[in-house]
């Protein structure tokens, strides 16, 4: 069973001038076709040949993607707000990746029209083929071609995908080892699927939509400076604590490999080149005096470790995941990045007024992005049940006032 995670993002774009779907949709569709000619692997499929130990991305001339065109009567402006709304309202803005035991699509774009209001450009992307950074490169390339309107124009150098996977060097057999370990982890997550070579995307972690709210919290540049100064003022008072007790919180952060590998990989590399690392803490560390400093030091130590040996521990990554799951650890994932520049994506009608990672409604995940206004702040996307969201919002805003 191949149960790969899927990065789902959508952008809500306000149309400043009244454009009918007869104009908007053909322009987006045509520019998508031109963009895919630069990104041919994304027009292919993930397959697993019977004589291969690993699955591959296979593109055959004539392959393409299925573009979903939808129309919504939902409140465009309500969906554009950062304040909490029902999490399920975002789900209809992204389509599902087609998958079966033998084949799986790489991306699935969807354009949702809000008549006389705006449109949403959403894409589901398979993490076996590309990570978040690569997804944004594709979206920015699509936006660039759509805005310029030329027939198969040349892309900016930073948008032209680097497709050579051979530049990534690692221990011999590492790829097959990771696949085998992933299959073991998948079997624990979804014991009902006994086909270990299936490419069908698992539904064992369904969206937590019942009574759940989705919201975006913002920290301005000023807020971040106050937090940093407060942390530095008490940095020496915080002490890292041993986190090997039975129950713990495991914060999973993705470490980018591109600049840390030898030799470094170009920034426009198209693929999945991140390595998740766990920072383990006890729940009470967040509430004890100077506990936040202790947690921050653990994160800091993990990031510094990446610079020294980014592939250290990669061979038993999933073994450690399985161990944490068996010990009952509460996992918190981090998605996105403030360095992706998601609000620079302009299809010709201005920057998106809101960008979300829809799939954070699967488990406890925090989504990060840069602030839309470009003031050096950050946006944090969360999905929680109503009670938790209200409690978090109160603590968040009271915490900012106390800085």
Q: Which residues are catalytic?
A: 127, 346
The two tokens of residue 269 are 């590399």
Residue 70, C-beta contacts closer than 8 angstroms, at least 6 positions apart: 92, 110, 111, 112, 113
Give, in degrees to the nearest 5, the angle at Cα 129 between 128 and 130: 105
Q: How far apart are CA 146 and CA 150, in angstroms?
A: 8
Residue 305, number of CB atoms within 10 A of its CB:
14
CA angle 302, 304, 308 (to 5 degrees): 110
Cα–Cα distance, 398 to 403 (Å, whole number)? 9
Which DSSP state fits 135? Answer: H
Q: CA-to-CA distance for 224 and 315, rounded, in angstroms?
A: 36
Residue 386 parent element (H or E): helix 386-401
Residue entry with tokens 């170009």:
266
- CA-nearest of 20, 13, 9, 200 to 109 is 9
Measured distance CA(25)–CA(67) in Å, rounded: 10
Task: Determine the Cα angle at 397 with ends 392 and 401, to 5°.
Answer: 145
């Amino acid at each position: 069973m191949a149960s790969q995670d899927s990065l789902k993002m959508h952008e809500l774009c306000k149309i400043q001038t009244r454009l009918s779907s007869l104009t908007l949709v053909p322009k987006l569709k045509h520019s998508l076709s031109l963009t895919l000619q630069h990104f041919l692997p994304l027009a292919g499929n993930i397959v697993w040949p019977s004589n291969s130990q690993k699955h591959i991305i296979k593109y055959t001339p004539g392959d393409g993607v299925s573009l979903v065109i939808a129309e919504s009567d939902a409140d465009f402006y309500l969906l554009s707000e950062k304040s909490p709304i029902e999490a399920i309202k975002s789900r209809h803005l992204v389509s599902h990746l087609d998958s079966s035991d033998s084949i799986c699509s790489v991306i699935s774009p969807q354009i949702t029209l809000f008549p006389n209001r705006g449109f949403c450009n959403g894409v589901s992307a398979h993490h076996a083929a590309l990570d978040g950074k690569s997804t944004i490169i594709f979206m920015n390339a699509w936006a660039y071609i759509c805005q310029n309107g030329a027939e198969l124009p040349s892309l900016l150098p930073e948008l032209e995908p680097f497709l050579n996977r051979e530049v990534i060097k690692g221990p011999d057999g590492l790829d097959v080892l990771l696949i085998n370990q992933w299959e073991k982890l998948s079997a624990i997550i979804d014991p009902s699927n006994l086909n270990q070579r299936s490419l069908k995307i698992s539904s064992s972690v369904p969206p937590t939509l019942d009574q759940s709210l989705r919201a975006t919290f913002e920290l301005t540049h000023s807020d971040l400076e106050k937090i940093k100064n407060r942390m530095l003022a008490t940095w020496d008072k915080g002490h890292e604590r041993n986190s090997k007790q039975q129950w713990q919180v495991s914060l999973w952060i993705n470490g980018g490999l591109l600049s840390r590998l030898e030799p470094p990989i170009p920034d426009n590399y198209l693929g999945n080149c991140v390595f998740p690392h766990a920072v383990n803490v006890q729940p009470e560390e967040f509430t004890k005096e100077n506990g936040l400093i202790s947690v921050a030091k653990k994160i800091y130590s993990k990031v510094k470790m990446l610079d020294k040996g980014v592939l250290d521990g990669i061979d038993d990554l999933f073994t450690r995941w399985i161990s944490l799951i068996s010990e009952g650890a509460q996992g918190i994932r981090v998605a996105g990045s403030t360095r992706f520049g998601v609000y620079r994506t302009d299809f010709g009608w201005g920057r998106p007024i809101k960008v979300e990672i829809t799939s954070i409604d699967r488990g406890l995940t925090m989504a990060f992005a840069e602030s839309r206004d470009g003031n050096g702040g950050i946006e944090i996307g969360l999905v929680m049940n109503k009670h938790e969201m209200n409690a978090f919002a109160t603590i968040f805003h009271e915490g900012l006032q106390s800085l």
